[in-house]
Amino acid sequence: MNLHFLRFFCVAIICCVLAACSPKPEFKNIDITGSTSFGKDFSLLDPDGNVRTLADFKGKVVVMFFGYTQCPDVCPTTLTEMQQVMTLLGPQSDKVQVLFVTVDPERDTAAILKQYVPSFDPRFLGLRPADDAALEKVTKDFKIYYKKVPGSTPGSYTMDHTAGSYAFDPEGRLRLYIKHAQGPETLAHDLKELLK
């Protein structure tokens, strides 16, 4: 047997054994690992007016949710669930960053986001687009649906919007689409997988 072929064969066997020792994570949410057509990055303002991008959170699992502060149900439910997830993660929660991106920058001023979002957990961060064009861009980039629904007065409108969230791994790669309201245990499981 050719010595070169024997070396190649041994290396191939070792690679197969190592791959078997590193099983693919078993997520309970929708695994979108490898998606390259959307959700690559963002450029949004934090409540202090600083431009934030995904690179600012490298080394952490990032959970990104789109909503608005006057949302009557989905948004507070999601933020409360994430608060419970952080409790379940214990010390690992310091390696998770929750981002709440408003689809209603007309009412969700920097001051309101600064007060509302951290009221669920001081580590949570509210982000807003700089203008309508930035809102269009980030929602298109992340395939987020949103629509203003008129109310009885001009300021009493509501916003229909996508209820799911996204999760990025510590390297900044988009990995999961998180379904709404599955319970904190399910989400904590998946975030632990991303933190491995």
Beta bridge partners of 102: 67
Is residue 71 a known part of a binding site?
yes
Q: Which of 98, 103, 111, 9 is nearest to 57 (CA)?
A: 98
161 is in an annotated binding site: yes
Between CA 79 and CA 187 the distance in angstroms is 12
Q: How far apart are CA 105 and CA 193, in angstroms?
A: 33
Torsion angle defined by CA atoms of residues 106, 108, 110 and 115, in that order, rounded to the nearest 10 degrees: 160
Task: Report the alpha-carbon distance of residue 85 to residue 188 in Å, rounded.
Answer: 5
Which amino acids are annotated as binding site for Cu cation, given as ranges?
Answer: 71, 75, 161
- Binding-site residue numbers are 71, 75, 161
